[in-house]
Structure 1
Amino acid sequence: MGEPVSYVQHAREVMTLIDGFPRMPAQVDKPVAYSWLRCAKEHRLRPDGPLDPAVVENRHLRERQQRLDDLVLIARAEMDSLYEQISGSGYALLLTDASGVILSEKVDPTLRDNFRKAGLIAGANWSEQHEGTNGIGTCITERRPITIHRNDHFRARHIGLSCSAAPIRDTGGELMAVLDASCVGSDDSKASRMHTVALVSMSARLIEKCLFLRRFRNRRVIRFHSRPEFVNLLHDGALALDDDGRIAAADDMAVALLSADCRGDLIGRPLTEIFDVSARELDSSLSGPRQPILPVRDIEHGRRYYMSVHAAQPESRAPRTIAGSSQIMAIEPATQTESRAHTLDELAGHDPSMQRNVRCAHRIASSRVSVLIQGPTGSGKEAFARALHLASDRAAQAFVAVNCAAIPESLIESELFGYRPGAFTGARKEGMRGRIAQSSGGTLFLDEIGDMPLMLQTRLLRVLEEQEVTPLGGETPVKVNLRIVSASHRNLKDMIARGEFREDLYYRLNGITMTLPGLRERADLEALIHRILGEETALGRPAGIEMEAFRRLAAHDWPGNVRELRNVIRTALAIAEGGVIRLGDLPSDLLPSRSAASTGTPVTLASVASITVATGDEGSAPGNPLERAEREALLRAIAVNRGNMTHTARQLCMSRNTLYRKLKSHGIAPETLRSDGLSQA
C-alpha cells in the first residue's frame, strides 16, 4: 500500500475495503485483501481491537519446543547464520510452530525492547485468528513465502511492522513451522523486501533439507540433480530408501526435478524404476571412503542426472542399565568399523554448528580451496581434516600431518621441504623427501600453523603460489600437486596485527574457515560421551558406567576438549574394577569440590531451601549478592523438582550441562541433593 497512515485512518480504510468487497483498490494485493476479509468475517477481529498479544504460559511453550526439538535445534543454527547476513538491518528472526506461536527468536539486543512492545516475543501467538493479517499468520494460511509490509497489516497497531515469512514443511510435506524476519519502524518500500523474503525462503529450504536428512539418517539416501556441482547442496533432490530399495520418502526438490505431481507418485516405487541404476551400482558406490557422483538417466524421460548415495547411519544406541542395577549404564563396545577414522557425517553428530561445518566441507571437499580449521586445543581439528581428505577425490593418496608446534624450529624446514644427500652435517646420506613432497596429490595438514617461524612462512607462501618445492641443498625445484588444510587454536588476525604471522599467507591459507566448537559448547555432549565410551571399550569386553560418573562427565567443563575426554575415559576403563567406571575412577578435578555437602552428612531435599551461602566453597563468592541469589534460586528449583535435574533444567530454561556447570561454580554437589527413591535424570 501507500505511505504510512495513522491508526484511525488505517482502521477506517480496512473496514471500507471489507464493506466494498470484492471491489479492491489497485494498491491492495489480493492475498492481503482476502486475509482482511478472513480476519473480519471468520475471525471476528476489528482493526482497532485490543492491543495485548496472546502469550502462552512458559510450561506450554516448553512443551511446544520439546515436541519440535529437532526442528528448533536445526533452525537455531540456521537462524544464527542468517542473522550474520542481515545483522545491523534492524531485523528480528522468529521461528514459530504451525499454529503461529513463537518458539525461538534472534534479536539485536539494542532493539529488544522495540520488538517486545510490538508483541514479537517467545510464546506470543501470531496466527491470523489472534493478530490478523501478518507475515507469520498469513504465511500459515497461504502456505507460501509472503511479505506483509506496514499498512498490509489488518490490525492498526501493527502498521509499523514489516514481516517476511516462509513456511517450513516436514518430511511428508505438511506445514510444521514458519521462519520470519520482522523489523519495526522501517520506511523502506515493500519492493525492497524482496531480498529479505528470498533469504528467509532459502533458510527455510535449508532447514527442511536438514530435517529430511536427520529424519532419514538411518536409511540410505539418494541426492541428485541435473548439474553435478549441485549434488549434495541445498537445491538437489533427496530420496530415502527402504531396505529393499524402494523409495520411502522424497523431498520437494526431488518431486520437482522428476516432474512428479506429488510425493505419492514416487513413494513405494523401486529406485530402479525411476533411474537406470542397478542395486549393485548403488552398493558399490558405498564401498569407498567417499561418495562418488554417478551419472544416471530417469527412465520415463531419459533426462541426465547426477547422483550420490549416502549410507544409512547406524542407529544410536539408547542407554540401557546393567541387569540388577538401575544405577549402572551398559557400554556397547564399538565395532572395528566404528573404530576407524571417522567420516565427516560421523563427526557432525547432532550438533548444529558441527553439522554446518560438515555441510560446507562436503561442498569444497574435492576442490582446491584451502581450508583453515580454527578451534580450541583438543577439539578434533586433525580428525576433521582427515575426514575432509577422505571425502575428497584425493582420498586414495597420502594424508600427511605436520604439527608445526611439535617440531623443533631447527628441524622444521628440513621436515617440510626435505633435503639432498649431504645437505648438512648429520643429514641422511640418501637425503629425504620432505612432507610437502610426500603429500603431493593428497592432502597436507599443517596443524598449529601459527607456530611456524616467519622465515618458513615466506618459503611456504612461495611453494603454495608456484606449486613447486626446492629441497635443502638442491637447486632444481620439484613440481608438487598441493591441497593444504591448516589449523590453529590461536587468533591469527591478532598475530598479524602483532607482526607474528604473514598477512599474505593468512589469506592464501584461508580460502574458507571452519570453527570447531569446544566440547562444553556442543549440543550433543552426552551422545558424544556415549560414542567415545564405546570406542574406548575393548571389543567383546563387557563394561558399564555408574550413572553418577556419567553425569559427572557430562557436567565437566572439559578445558582439554575431546582429547581430554578420551584420555579420562581410557584411564577410567583401565583402572575400573569389573569393567564398571565408578565415580572414584575419575580424576580428582572431576569429583565434587569440597563443601559442607561433602563433610559426610548428605543434604536432603527437605533441607535444601535452608542451605545458605555459608555451605559453599571459596569459589562461591558468599559476599556477592547476585551470585548468592542465583545459588539460592538453583537450590529452590531443585527442591521443587525433587532432585530431578532434567525437570530442573527445563524449568530454568537451560540445558542440563549448563545446570551442572552452575552447580559446580557454586560448590553444590548434585549427588548430595538426593531424595530417597527419586532419580536425578
Structure 2
Amino acid sequence: MSHRLATPPHIGRTHVIAQAHARSLELGLRASEVPDFNPLRRPALRELVDRNQSLYTHALPVMETLHAQIVDTQSMVLLTDSQGVILHSLGDSDFVEKANRVALCPGVSWAEADRGTNAIGTALVDGQPTVVHADEHFLHANRILTCSCAPIADPFGRTIGALDVSGDTRGFHKHTLALVRMSAQMIENHLFSNQFADAVRVHFHARAEFIGTLFEGLAAFAADGTFLSANRSALFQFGQPLAALEAQPFEALFGVAFAHVLQRITRAPGENVVLTLPSGVRVVARGEYSAQRYVGPAAEVADVATARMPASNAVRQAPRIGGEEPLATLQTLDTGDAQVAAILRRVAKVRGRDIPILILGKTGTGKEWLARAIHHDSPRRAAPFVALNCASLPDTLIEAELFGYEDGAFTGAKKRGSVGKIVQADGGTLFLDEIGDMPLAQQVRLMRVLQERTVVPLGGTRAIPVDLRIVCATHRNLRAMIDEGTFREDLYYRINGLVVTLPALRERTDLAALVTRMLEIQREGEGLPRRVSPQVLERFMQSRWPGNLRQLANVLRTASIMAEGADQIELDDLPEDFLHDCADAAVNGSASVTLAGGEDQKGAALDPQAPTPSRMEDWQATLIAQTLARLDGNVSAAARELGLARNTVYRYLRRGGTTH
C-alpha cells in the first residue's frame, strides 16, 4: 500500500462503518463471537518485534509522549504491525484489566478478519485514519471501547503498521484522532530521516516557521540528484503522488538546478533558501547533507555517492545569512553596533581556551551565528561544528539525538546505530540551542558527559571518550528556572564559563550596515538588487522586528526575489504581512521615531524630503498620504496595505489630508 496524496474526498463515517460491517459479514464473523484469548507466545512475539525493529524503535518514544498526553483517561496506546498484530502497548493501569477482557494486548491480531470492524483493522484496510466508537464495533464484546487509529507508512509509502489509542467509551474525545495522526506522522518522519541519513534531504514549507516541525515537507535525493522519496507533507505540497515524482528531476520539483542547491547546502548548512514548486508556490527550504561516517565496532565506509564529500563539510562550514559567502569570523559579525562589538571583544579573549560559553538573547538575535563564528575562530575550526535545537524535538527524542543509539538498533539497508550529536562533535564544537528546553533527565546525563568526557549511547555499555567544546544558548531565564526546579544548578555553572547577551535587532544601531551585508551575501549573481531604497530603509528603522535578525534576513530574501532585475528594493517589493505589521505599529504608537533627511551614522542616503512629525497623528497622516500617492489614490488598496479600515482613510481625505 502506498502513500495517499492527501485525504480522499470526504466519505461519511456512517458509510465507512457500514462498509466495514459488510466486510465482516463476508468474512463469516458473528457479532456474538467471544474474543480470542490466545496471543502469540513470548518467543514468537519477540521474533515479530525483531522483524519490525525499526518501526518499534522509532515508535516507542513517540508512544510514551502520546501516552503522557492522555494519561488518566482510561485508555491505552497500541502499536501494531502491518497485519494488525499488537506489538506493544502502554496503558493506564485501571484500563489494562478491561482491555485484557477483550484481548486488547500484545501478541493478538486486531485485523478485520479476526475482530471485525475496529479502528486498527479498518484503518489498515482503508489506509486512512479511523475512529470506531462503541456500538460501531462489529463484535458485541468490543463495544465497551472507543478507538482512534492511524496507519504508519515506511519511507517508500508502504503501510508497515498502525498507531492506536483505545479507551473506555465514556472517555471519548473528538481530538484524540488528531493526536494519533500527528504521532503517526512523527514516527514516519523519523523513519524517513533514518532511512535517508546519508542522502540529500530538503525540508520545506510555504511558511518558514513550519520548517523543523511535524508539518514540514521532506524530500530525499541521491548525491547525483536522483529523487528517492518524499513524506506525506511533501506529497501534499507537490500535489502529486509518490509514483509521479520518481521520474522528475530536481529542477522540475524545485525550480532550480540540483548542483546549485547542493553547493549552498554544503557551504552553509541550516540556512534557508526560497524554492518554487511545480504549482508556482514559493516555499522556504533548508537543505541537509550529513554524509557522516559512523564510528564504533560496526562502522561502515560510506558508499561512493556519499563519499564524494568529506563528512565534515556538512557541519564545519561557517554560517551565512543567506547567500554564497559565509559569515565566518567574529570580525565579519562586527557591523558597527557598540553592544555587539563589546560582546565580540569578550568572546575573542577566550579564543583558543575551552571555556564554555552561554549565549543569551531573544529568538532570532543571531545566537547560532555567533556560536559558529566562535568555532571558526578557534583551534577546533577544522573539526565538526554540530548543532542541536533542544526545543525542536519531543522530550523523549532529545536523548536519542544527543547521546545516540547502540549499534544495530535499526534495520534497513544497513544495520547500524546512530552515534548521536555528542560523538559527531568529537574534536570540535557542540552547540546546544535552547538548552533551557532540555528535560531534567537529559540534563543529568549531559552533566555526566561534561564531567567524565565520555558518553554511553542508549542501550549500550561501552563508554566512548569525547573531546569537545560546548556552546549553549537560550532565550529563557535559567536562574529563574533553577529556583523553580526546572533547570539543574550544577549544569548551569558547568555551561556558563562566559555569559554574553545579544541585543534585539531594534536595540542595535547598525541596521543599515546589516542590510547592506545581508544583501551582499544573498546575491547569487547578476539580477538581484544591491541595496534598498531610502523609503525601505526608513520603514526598516520604524519596524519593531519581533523576529530580529532572522526576520530581517527573510524579509530581504523575499524582497530580493520580488525585485529581481531592479537595482534596489522598493516598498512594493516588501512582503505584505511585513508592511501590515509596520502600519499597525505606527498606528498603535509602537513605531520608533522617523528619521530626518540627510544620512544616518553609517552614511546611507535617506530621503531629504522625509517628514519628521512630532506626533503619532502626524505620522499616520504622512503614512496614508505617501501610500495613497504611490497607489494613485486607490483607497481600498491603501487601506489593505496599511492594515486600516477604509473609513479611516476616507476620514483623512475629508479632513483635507489630516486624521485629527
Q: Give the TM-score of the pair, scaled to structure 2.
A: 0.49
Q: Give the TM-score of the pair, scaled to structure 1.
A: 0.48
